[in-house]
Amino acid sequence: MKFFVDTAEVDAIRELNDLGMVDGVTTNPSLIMKSGRDIKEVTKEICEMVDGPVSAETVALDADGMIAEGRELAKIADNIAIKVPLTWDGLKACKVLSSEGRMVNVTLCFSANQALLAAKAGATFISPFIGRIDDLSLDGMDLIGDIRTIYDNYGFETQILAASIRSLNHMKDAALIGADVATAPPAVIKSMANHVLTDKGLDAFMSDWAKTGQKIL
């Protein structure tokens, strides 16, 4: 499973990228606002740092506006994935932009039917929002599983990009179900290395090592 980092904070992306943990980046208007930087400036910096797709989101609500904004965002770098919402106008924009050979990430997906439409419209990525479905006391992973089955049934090449990931279980379950990509905040990705038994074992090793009175360097 590929890891995308869901942030516009350049330092956090750089740290993970240097470890080989970044296959791409996703941004949205909220993350751009949080970074406090100009969208084109920060997106260009991220694209220069990361080899994989960098999602930059349109803000128009009509198809023509999304297409125009998408083309403008695509000028930033060759690895831009244009992000459009899963609305009827978003699907129209996806069809046009993908037909022009551009990567398109269709976001705010909450049903398998929506995901099917996005694949038919030529989406490169479909972004089901797991956490927001969980907020409704439903299981967001059921949606990932349904989309995986539908796409495999018909050989769609659209990649399932599990989004709105908030926990380690989300990461694990998305991988088990077969999501192609998971996009998560840096803190979630880094916390995948944590385990209480690892900490306990390391403490025991260090205690025993101290008793030997030895040094390696």
Domain with 159 in it: what CATH number?
Answer: 3.20.20.70
Could you read off the pLDDT of 105-140 as tens digits, one per residue? 999 999 999 999 999 999 999 999 999 999 999 999
State the number of CA atoms in the 13 A half-sphere of 68 facing the CB: 7
Reading the block at residue 188, the tokens are 């979630």
pLDDT reported for residue 175: 97
* Domain extent at residue 183: 2-212
Domain count, the chain: 1
In this prediction, the residues of the chain whose per-residue pLDDT falls under 50 are none
Among 2, 34, 83, 215, the active-site one is: 83
State the distance between the two ends of the chain, measured CA to CA, in whole angstroms.
38
Does residue 29 belong to any structural domain of this protein? yes
Residue 61 included in any domain: yes
| The pLDDT of residue 140 | 95
139, part of any domain:
yes
Is 40 tagged catalytic?
Answer: no
107-134 burial, b for 16+ CB within 10 Å, e for fewer? bbbbebebbbbbbebbbbbbbbbbeebb
In a domain, 96, yes or no: yes
Instruction: Evaluate whether residue 98 is within a structural domain.
Output: yes
Is pTM beyond 0.75 here? yes
What does the pLDDT read at residue 217?
A: 94
DSSP H or E segment with residue 25 = strand 24-26
Question: 180 and 1 in contact (C-beta within 8 Å)?
Answer: yes
Identify whether 217 is part of a domain: no
- Look at residue 180 and give its three-state secondary structure: coil
- Round the average pLDDT of the chain to a whole number and report it: 96
Closest alpha carbon to 154 in 208, 116, 122: 116
N residues, the chain: 217
